[in-house]
Amino acid sequence: MSTIQTAIELRSAGKSEEAKQILLGLLEQSPEDPDILYQLAWVHDLMGLEGEAVPYYEKAISSGLKDPERRGALLGLGSTYRTLGLYNKSKEIFERGRQDYPQAREFNVFYAMTLHNLGQYDKAMEFLLKELGETSSDEGIHRYQRAIVFYSDKLNQVWE
């Protein structure tokens, strides 16, 4: 009998189609299992089937997916919405992720991409510059960290 762990190992080994088939079989037995739904969403994303991944992400989250998988599912769903051009839905999911996981900096980076897509370039740059300034271990970035973070929300300000 195939298990969800077998499917995860296959997915990790680049055997997405095999993983997908196992997961679909498991889903027939447990159609409300949030872990199976999440793994199906993930494998569909890996296969470039973003539109098919969305309902699996949505149902996994609404079916009570637990952390840390829930965190990954929110990020995956927001990113998938963005790649499908559903920018407002993407923004909503990333805002939810930022609220639920304030220490998860990856949400800010993906949120910035969505803000860019929505034409909110200043805000997108602000998020990216803050993340860069606050997380980079690069010596040059670290040396100018205070300036980078300070200017992150003042990109259009002119001093006289």
State how many domains the chain has: 1
Percentage, residues of the chain above pLDDT 70: 99
Residue 16 is assigned to a structural domain of this protein? yes
Task: List the CATH number of the domain containing 56.
Answer: 1.25.40.10
CA triple 103-108-111, angle to 5 deg: 145
pLDDT band at 8 (very low <50, low <70, confident <90, very high): very high
Separation of alpha carbons 68 and 15, rounded Å: 23
The model's pTM: 0.91
- Give pLDDT tens digits for 49-80: 999 999 999 999 999 999 999 999 999 999 99
Q: What is the pLDDT of residue 151?
A: 92
- Would residue 70 count as lying in a domain? yes
Pair of tokens at residue 158? 């002119």
Residue 158 has a pLDDT of: 86
The mean predicted confidence, pLDDT, of the chain is 95
| Residue-range definition of the domain harbouring residue 34 | 1-99
> Does 63 reside within a domain?
yes
Q: Is residue 145 part of a domain?
A: no
Distance CA 104, CA 67 (A): 12
Span 123-153, pLDDT tens digits: 999 999 999 999 999 999 999 999 999 999 9
Cis-peptide, bond into residue 34, ω within 30° of zero: no
In this prediction, residue 159 has a pLDDT band, given cuts at 50, 70 and 90, of confident
